[in-house]
């Protein structure tokens, strides 16, 4: 029993010594510990503020993107509506033109618009925008010549030539 009591006292003394040294260390380092706690609280506050700012920026960026996408969708719809209007004008001005040809021109214009609108490559997008503009100008030119020309044409020849050149080229 004496050995177990001695072991118990030894462990008790070690425990007391460690506890006393820990208390002395904490007392000696209390200013540093308090400063560390203060710095940690300050860092947490700064982090929270930074996260709050980032969340606000993220929400605002999402709003800007949503508004821009809505605007882009409206513009795209306007273009589609103008292509539909162009098809209607062609059918009314070229009364003998078969409807499938007008639909093919309409489809071609729609495809050019999609290529111009949705291309990820800036150069390709600009090139397709130019092609779309050229097609629309050619159609407008064909329609304008109908009013100026005394000989009625059955088909929008320049428009069809433009499409043919694009397909071959």
- pTM metric for this prediction: 0.65
CA contacts within 13 A on the Cβ side of 111: 9
Beta strands in 13-153 (DSSP E): none
CA distance 155 to 138: 13
**Interior angle at CA 37, CA 31 and CA 40, nearest 5:** 140
**CA dihedral angle for residue 48, residue 49, residue 54, residue 58, rounded to 10 degrees:** 90
Give pLDDT, residue 30: 81
Q: What is the pLDDT along the chain (169 residues), one digit of tens a residue?
A: 577 777 878 888 888 888 888 888 888 888 888 888 999 999 999 999 999 999 999 999 999 999 999 999 999 999 999 999 999 989 988 888 899 999 999 999 999 999 999 989 999 999 999 999 999 999 999 888 887 665 667 789 899 999 988 777 6
CA distance 100 to 78: 23
Query: Do residues 154 and 97 make contact, with C-beta atoms less than 8 angstroms apart?
Result: yes
Query: Do residues 90 and 105 make contact, with C-beta atoms less than 8 angstroms apart?
Result: yes
Give pLDDT, residue 152: 66
CA distance 51 to 140: 55
Give pLDDT, residue 151: 62
Tell me the C-alpha to C-alpha distance, in Å, between residue 20 and each of 3, 6, 27, 34: 25, 20, 10, 20
- Only one residue has tokens 């993220």, namely 58
Give pLDDT, residue 100: 93
């Amino acid at each position: 029993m004496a050995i177990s009591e001695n072991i118990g006292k030894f462990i008790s003394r070690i425990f007391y010594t460690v506890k006393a040294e820990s208390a002395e260390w904490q007392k000696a380092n209390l200013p540093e510990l308090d400063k560390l706690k203060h710095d940690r609280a300050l860092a947490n506050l700064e982090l929270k503020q930074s996260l709050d700012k980032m969340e606000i920026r993220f929400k605002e960026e999402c709003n800007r993107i949503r508004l821009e996408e809505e605007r882009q969708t409206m513009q795209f719809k306007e273009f589609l509506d103008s292509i539909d209007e162009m098809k209607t004008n062609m059918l009314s001005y070229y009364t003998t033109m078969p409807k499938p040809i007008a639909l093919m021109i309409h489809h071609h214009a729609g495809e050019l618009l999609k290529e111009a609108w949705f291309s990820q490559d800036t150069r390709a997008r600009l090139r397709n925008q130019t092609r779309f503009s050229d097609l629309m100008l050619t159609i407008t030119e064909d329609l304008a010549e109908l009013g100026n020309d005394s000989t009625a044409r059955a088909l929008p020849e320049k428009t069809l030539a433009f499409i043919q050149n694009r397909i071959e080229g």
